Amino acid sequence: MFGLSSDTVAMLGSWAVKIVGALVGLFAANIVASIARNAINRQLSRTKFDPTLTRFFANMARYAVLTLAVLAVLGIFGVETTSVAAVIGGASLAVGLAFQGSLGNFAAGVMLLVFRPFKVADFIKVAGVSGTVDTINLFSTTLDTLDHRRLIVPNGSVFGATIENMTFRPVRRVDINVGVAYGADIDATRAVLENAAASVPDQPEGHAWQVFLVGLGGSSVDWQLRIWCHNPGYWDTHEATVRAIKYGLDAAEIGIPYPTMDLNVTNVG
């Protein structure tokens, strides 16, 4: 056939069978890997396991199946897996030297999974950005911002910075600063702010609000209203508190002064 000898035809046929078998094996392995990942996801989610570790273990199971499939395919073509392991080991050193930053991110990712300063669905502020944690990978952490932007932060930047987890506890405090005119009566102002605090709905039990006189500012008497809320309703409580304060001060005719400056002009000559 096409001037080829019988031995060549037999060899090509053998290689064709191996290639088809390898492709079929890889395709089947990809299906098995997806099934394994979904099964682990489903089983761990059913037992209310931590969502962060659930995704991590599920992805690791998929990668393990695919790695075994690749090694099996190499064996079909007569490649010794021991020699492959030796080559991978030798290349790992060179790759490690070339990708020190990536290895640092990998180490930081392991530390994040071990110490778990935050988990999936937490709202955090870290490395100058803030957002809801979507995924914690070995090399990066994925955040979704409030305006639906996707941020991918290297784990080295995450673990090496101060992490502010704003949804770690179920209850959170809202602090509202208020400045009133110097002519306003102190006791009357306190009464208005206390009424405003008491009128805010959905406050958690066991956490009392506080009206605190901060000090005397450059153009106002400064107060702070501290009120507690359930974490998911932080911004609703924030808005309701500001609204109650503004209506209360207006009703009591207590002014909120603008910053003022005295300017003295001297006419020379």
- Please report the pLDDT score of residue 76 as a whole number: 67
* Per CATH, domain 171-251 is 3.40.630.30: no
Residues of the chain with CATH 3.30.70.100: 171-251
Please give the residue that has the higher pLDDT: either 259 or 162.
162
| CATH, domain 7-88, list 3.40.50.300, 1.10.287.1260, 3.40.50.970, 3.40.50.1240 | 1.10.287.1260
Residues of the chain with CATH 1.10.287.1260: 7-88
- Determine the Cα–Cα distance for residues 40 and 62; give it in Å rounded to an integer: 10
13-62 pLDDT, tens digit each: 667 777 777 777 778 888 888 888 888 878 777 776 667 667 777 777 78
Residue with tokens 């609204």: 243
173-225 pLDDT, tens digit each: 999 999 999 999 999 999 999 999 999 999 999 999 999 999 998 889 999 99
- Please report the pLDDT score of residue 40 as a whole number: 80
Sequence-separated contacts (24+) of 199-202 with Cβ below 8 Å: 199/244, 200/227, 200/237, 200/240, 200/241, 200/244, 201/240, 202/229, 202/230, 202/233, 202/236, 202/237
pLDDT exceeding 90 applies to what percent of the chain? 46
**Local confidence band at 265 (pLDDT 50, 70, 90 cut-offs):** confident
82-131 pLDDT, tens digit each: 555 555 565 555 555 444 566 778 788 888 888 889 998 999 999 999 99
DSSP SS3 for 260: coil
Residues of the chain with CATH 2.30.30.60: 117-165
pLDDT above 80: residue 235: yes
What does CATH list as the number for 117-165?
Answer: 2.30.30.60
